[in-house]
Structure 1
Amino acid sequence: MNLFNIIKNKKEYWLVDQIKKEDVSRESYIRELTDILEDWDRLEIGYLSLLMDEQFESWLLEKNFGKISSIVEYTIDLKELQKTNNQMVSHSLAERLIDDHEYAELYEICRSGSANRNTKQPLAQVMSSLENELGPEWRKHCYYFLQDGAFAGISIPHIEIGTVDEGRLFYFGVVPELRGQGIGVQIHRVSLELLKQFQATYYVGSTDVNNTNMIKIFEKNGCELRHRKGIYKVVSGAHF
């Protein structure tokens, strides 16, 4: 039974996300996660980051996981999403109007001052992860947005690994000086339209429970709360 999505980055980390299903027992989740942990430990991967329902928290803490924070997941059906008259100018990195280094710098600016409590990966690792997780055409998913000719923000829409139609944003962010002006709502809305172009039929977005600005963006664009999960982390060498 496939109860977790897993993104594997060579020997550095695994990202594991619980797929919440109503008809699956607690024991089934624990059994499958135990198998995943045994494989991860045997391969001596650097660390494992887990998104999982907080009802499992006591069991996870017993297994030497540390809790980082909690996140909320929002979702929206994209099938009926209508294209808006949004005037935001967008380009993909694949258009080669800017280079990878410039995009990485913009990424770093957008994530500065974030309310999310999850530990930031080094930027070089982030850029490596883009190709690893999105494939050789990863630049087609890397968008940046302009307001009056200046950089306003970025988003990276893609289809979630292991699915055929679940839309996700690898990252979404607004430059600090434009936050609080409604720019985030516009960029997020365009990103939903891009996901529909990528053949996503629904979108799942998540953010830290303390990131009230991002939660407002979800809600203003019609997304509804789906789940709350904890973020947990365990490092190589922990004993289960």
Structure 2
Amino acid sequence: MNLFNIIKNKQEYWLVDQIKKEDVSTELYIRELTGILGDWDRLEIGYLSLLMDEQFESWLLDKKFNKISSIVEYTRKLKDLPLTNDQIVWHSLAEGLIDDQAYAELYELCRSGSANKNTKQTIAQIMSSLENELGPEWHKHCYYFLKDGAFAGISIPHIEMGTEDEGRLFYFGVVPELRGQGIGAQIHRVSMVLLKQFQATYYVGSTDVNNANMIKIFEKNGCKLRDRKGIYKIVR
């Protein structure tokens, strides 16, 4: 039984996310995670980052995990989406209007000042992981948004690994000078429309419990609180 999604980036890190199922016992989750940890240690991977229900926290701390923070997950079905705002326009990186370096610089700008507490990867690590996590056509998933001809933000919609129709945003962000003006909610709405075009039937988004602005965007766009998980990390 697959109880965890795992994203593997060569020898640098593994990103592990618990798949919560009502009919699975605590013991079974611990058994499968123990096996994952054994493989991680045997293969000498740099670090492992884990999203998991906080009921396992004592066990994880005993296993030398450090708690980074907590996240909340929101979800909504993608039918009957609200109308998008025509004040912003968007393009995918696949269109070739800007290059990868320009997109990386915009990504770095959008994530500056983030309220999320999880340890940041370098922008070079992020860009190199896009193909690994999104596949060879990753450029088609990388969108940027313009308002009045200037960069406003980015989002990276995709189908979650191991599912056929769960829409996620690998990243979503607004440039600092446009925050607090409602642009984020507009970009988020468009991103859900793009997810629907990728054949997603529902959306799941997550953010740090302290990121009040992102939580407001979720709620403004009709997303409902689904879950809360801890962020834990173990380093070799």
Same fold (TM over 0.5): yes
Shift in Å, 1:96: 0.5
Equivalent-residue separation in structure 1 for 2:230 and 2:82 (angstroms) = 33
The one-letter amino acid of 1:176's match is P
Could you say what secondary structure the match of 1:11 adopts?
coil
In the other structure, the counterpart of 1:123 is 123
Equivalent-residue separation in structure 2 for 1:135 and 1:62 (angstroms) = 36
The one-letter amino acid of 1:169's match is L
Equivalent-residue separation in structure 2 for 1:86 and 1:189 (angstroms) = 12
In the other structure, the counterpart of 2:50 is 50
How do residues 55-134 of structure 1 correspond to structure 2 at under 5 angstroms?
Answer: 55-81=55-81, 83-134=83-134
In the other structure, the counterpart of 2:189 is 189
The one-letter amino acid of 1:155's match is S
Equivalent-residue separation in structure 1 for 2:154 and 2:217 (angstroms) = 15
Q: What whole-Å deviation, never above 9, does each CA across 1:14-60 have from its counterpart, x for those lacking one?
A: 00000111111111110110011111111111100000000000000
Equivalent-residue separation in structure 2 for 1:84 and 1:177 (angstroms) = 21
The one-letter amino acid of 1:146's match is L
Shift in Å, 1:79: 3.3
In the other structure, the counterpart of 1:151 is 151
Equivalent-residue separation in structure 1 for 2:36 and 2:82 (angstroms) = 40
Structure 1 consecutive aligned stretches of length 4 or more whose deviation exceeds 2 Å: 79-87
Q: How many pairs were matched up?
A: 236
Could you say what secondary structure the match of 1:229 adopts?
strand
The one-letter amino acid of 2:221's match is N
The one-letter amino acid of 2:167's match is G
In the other structure, the counterpart of 2:230 is 230
Shift in Å, 1:87: 3.2
Gaps of 5+ in 1: none
Identity in percent: 85
Could you say what secondary structure the match of 2:90 adopts?
strand
CA contact (8 A) 1:86 1:186 kept: no
Shift in Å, 1:84: 3.3
In the other structure, the counterpart of 1:209 is 209
What CA RMSD, in Å, does the superposition of the two structures yield over aligned residues?
Answer: 0.9
The one-letter amino acid of 1:105's match is E
CA contact (8 A) 2:153 2:174 kept: yes
In the other structure, the counterpart of 2:5 is 5
TM-score relative to the length of structure 1: 0.96
CA contact (8 A) 2:85 2:186 kept: no
CA contact (8 A) 1:83 1:193 kept: no
TM-score relative to the length of structure 2: 0.98
Shift in Å, 1:82: 5.2
- 2:231 maps to 1:219: no
